[in-house]
């Protein structure tokens, strides 16, 4: 019989608490590693969440997707005013002639590289900051060199001067003087650097880069015995001593500066008449009279003065041109002001007292304004400055990505009503911007017009053969603003199609901000949610049996609700969004 020997049984392995802790840490580390790896893999070609460019959320998008989104949704914004400075003198650059283009590609690349330094902990910190607090990038504006160089050259011509060789006048030696030349490339570079960091509503003051040039070699010495020079212009006569004549003719800039000072004393801008139309009788009366103006012709005066000084003449007539007002009260019968052309109205019922006051002040600025045929109306040229000095009060305005208290809230009620009258009357719209988000004061979206003096304007052109008289009427008790255009009604019909709404974007979840001034449990809503969308309206104009159409496109950003809550107030958890099937 075979015997079998059994091996002794092994004792079971006992797991201690330390073993379980180590295993848990290992599993947690592995899960965290896999999570980070998956996170990094998913965002290999994507911008990290929480990153915005020009207020547009681009987190989770690829660079090409972000670039396409920005080019489609970024609202146009004009170039900020640019002032060139040299030796205490200022020149305003004609920015309306310059086209700007945001450098979206460069900004998208900067946004993509955020949180990608290659250092693990700094990158994780940056990614968490973006997801928790948000990170905002602003696109830099670029300028094409050709029109900018041309505009700068026109200003440089007023600064530059040639050098003057040593010469003898009246028995004494006048030392040589160096010239001045504007370094246009260096000035453009300074402008670009400031433009890269400027706010849209800011003003850029750029010092011109001016370099001295060597004076020419001395020419043959001549003797000059100058006599006093009598200047005759308009009703003024001035006598200049020989030394003063010599000083002024030494450099073109000195003579130009002297003539510009004279012009400031005698120039007078013509003043247009403001008129009132009586719709019952058809009579036109004068609200404020017109007045002719006059202007010293600087270029012609430069030539006349230089010629007189060179020929040692005893006097010179400086040409002064009379300027007729565009709206002359003595020519009312020729203006064609005979009937109502178009009327439009909006409601501001429920406005605060300060907003009501701003609507009244802004509307009053346009009372009796008359636009000649072919001329372009500019809202900002008439209002000029929305400030407390001009009677405007603090009220709610759109400021960046929020609603804030600022001077002039309610002025856009007037610009919107003017815009609707011009648009519904079939007039060509030269410049118009919609608000950043939908504002209830202006009714259905797509027919509003925002302004921001002096850069964001509303402009339209009077394409009729008659003058156009603007007559605003404010019914403060009922909160109604009416804008009437009087003139000669053109033989055309205008039809506005129904608003076509696309690209609807729901706002983000409400934002709750702790306000120490509120009691615990107290809540106050300060922003109301609005969906973002694109609104397109088609206008059809039939004139002389010939139809033509144009489209008005408005892009509105989504606007989320904002609440102020007292310390310790429970904040609601946003409901998860349902994904589209």
How far apart CA 257 and CA 368 sit, in angstroms, is 38
Position 200 scores a pLDDT of 46
| Beta-carbon contacts of residue 433 (< 8 Å; ≥ 6 apart) | 75, 76, 449, 450, 451, 456, 458
Tens-digit pLDDT profile for residues 139-167: 776 666 677 787 788 788 777 777 766 65
pLDDT averaged over every residue in the chain: 81
Position 159 scores a pLDDT of 78
- What is the chain's percent helix, strand, coil content, to nearest 5? 30, 30, 40
State the fold for domain 223-334: Ubiquitin-like (UB roll) (3.10.20)
Question: In the structure encoding, which two tokens stand for residue 30, read together?
Answer: 């592995």
Q: What is the 3-state secondary structure (H, E, C) of 21-56?
A: HHHHHHHHHHHHHHHHHHHHHHCCCECCCCEEECCE
Q: Do domains 223-334 and 493-581 have the same CATH topology?
A: no
pTM flag (> 0.85): no
| Beta-carbon contacts of residue 531 (< 8 Å; ≥ 6 apart) | 438, 504, 505, 506, 507, 556, 558
Position 83 scores a pLDDT of 80
How far apart CA 169 and CA 309 sit, in angstroms, is 13
Closest CA to 152 of 81, 87, 92: 92
Q: 136: which strand partners?
A: 52
Listed range (169-183, 432-446, 535-549) with the worst mean pLDDT? 169-183
Task: Supply the DSSP string of 176-211, one letter for each residue.
Answer: PB-EEEE-HHHHHHHHHHHHTT--TT--EEEE--EE
Q: Where are the domains of the chain?
A: 37-166+173-214, 223-334, 346-490, 493-581
State the fold for domain 493-581: Resuscitation-promoting factor rpfb fold (2.20.230)
CB 565 within 8 A of CB 512: yes
Tens-digit pLDDT profile for residues 412-425: 899 999 999 999 99
Instruction: Name the percent of the chain lying above pLDDT 90.
Output: 26
Highest mean pLDDT among 56-60, 450-454, 465-469: 465-469
The size of the chain, in residues, is 581
């Amino acid at each position: 019989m075979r015997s079998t020997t059994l091996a002794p049984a092994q004792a079971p392995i006992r797991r201690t608490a330390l073993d379980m802790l180590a295993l848990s840490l290992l599993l947690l580390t592995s899960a965290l590693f896999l999570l980070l790896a998956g996170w990094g893999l998913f965002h290999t070609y994507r911008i990290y969440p929480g990153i915005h460019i020009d207020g547009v959320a681009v987190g989770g998008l690829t660079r090409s997707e972000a670039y396409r989104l920005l080019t489609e949704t970024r609202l146009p914004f004009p170039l900020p005013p640019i002032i060139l400075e040299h030796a205490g003198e200022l020149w305003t650059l004609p920015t309306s002639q310059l086209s700007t283009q945001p450098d979206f590609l460069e900004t998208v690349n900067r946004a993509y590289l955020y949180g990608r330094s290659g250092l693990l902990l700094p990158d994780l910190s940056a990614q968490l900051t973006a997801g928790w607090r948000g990170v905002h990038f602003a696109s830099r504006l670029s300028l094409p060199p050709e029109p900018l160089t041309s505009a700068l050259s026109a200003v440089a011509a007023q600064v530059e001067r040639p050098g003057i060789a040593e010469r003898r006048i009246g028995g004494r030696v006048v030392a040589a003087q160096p010239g001045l030349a504007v370094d246009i490339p260096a000035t453009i570079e300074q402008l670009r650097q400031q433009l890269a960091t400027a706010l849209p509503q800011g003003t850029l003051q750029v010092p011109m880069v001016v370099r001295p040039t060597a004076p020419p070699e001395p020419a043959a010495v001549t003797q000059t015995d100058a006599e006093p020079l009598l200047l005759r212009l308009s009703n003024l006569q001035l006598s200049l001593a020989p030394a003063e004549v010599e000083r002024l003719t030494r450099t073109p800039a000195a003579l130009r500066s002297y003539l510009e000072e004279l012009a400031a004393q005698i120039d007078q801008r013509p003043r247009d008449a403001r008129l009132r139309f009586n719709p019952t009788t058809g009579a036109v009366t004068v609200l404020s009279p017109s007045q002719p103006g006059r202007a010293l012709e600087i270029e012609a005066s430069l030539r006349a003065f230089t010629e007189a000084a060179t020929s040692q003449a005893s006097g010179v007539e400086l040409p002064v041109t009379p300027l007729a007002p565009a709206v002359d009260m003595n020519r009312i019968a020729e203006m064609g002001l005979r009937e109502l052309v178009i009327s439009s109205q909006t409601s501001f019922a429920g406005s605060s007292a300060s907003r009501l006051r701003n609507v009244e002040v802004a509307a009053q600025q346009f009372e009796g304004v008359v636009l000649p045929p072919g001329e372009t109306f500019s809202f900002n040229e008439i209002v000029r400055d929305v400030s407390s000095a001009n009677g405007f009060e603090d009220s709610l305005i759109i400021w960046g990505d929020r609603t804030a208290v600022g001077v002039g809230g309610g002025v856009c009620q007037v610009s919107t009503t003017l815009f609707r009258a011009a648009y519904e009357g079939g007039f060509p719209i030269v410049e118009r911007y919609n608000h950043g988000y939908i504002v209830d004061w202006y009714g259905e979206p797509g027919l509003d017009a925002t302004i921001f003096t002096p850069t964001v304007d509303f402009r339209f052109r009077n394409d009729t053969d008659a003058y156009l008289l603007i007559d605003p009427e404010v019914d403060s008790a009922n909160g109604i603003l009416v804008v009437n255009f009087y003139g000669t009604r053109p033989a055309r019909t205008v039809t506005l199609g129904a608003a076509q709404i696309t690209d609807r974007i729901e706002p983000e979840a409400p934002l709750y901000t702790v306000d120490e001034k509120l009691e615990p449990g107290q809540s106050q809503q300060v922003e109301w949610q609005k969906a973002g969308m694109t609104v397109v309206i088609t206008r059809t104009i039939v004139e002389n049996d010939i139809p033509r159409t144009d489209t008005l496109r408005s892009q509105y950003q989504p606007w989320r609700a904002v609440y102020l809550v007292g310390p310790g107030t429970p904040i609601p958890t946003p409901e998860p969004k349902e994904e589209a099937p």
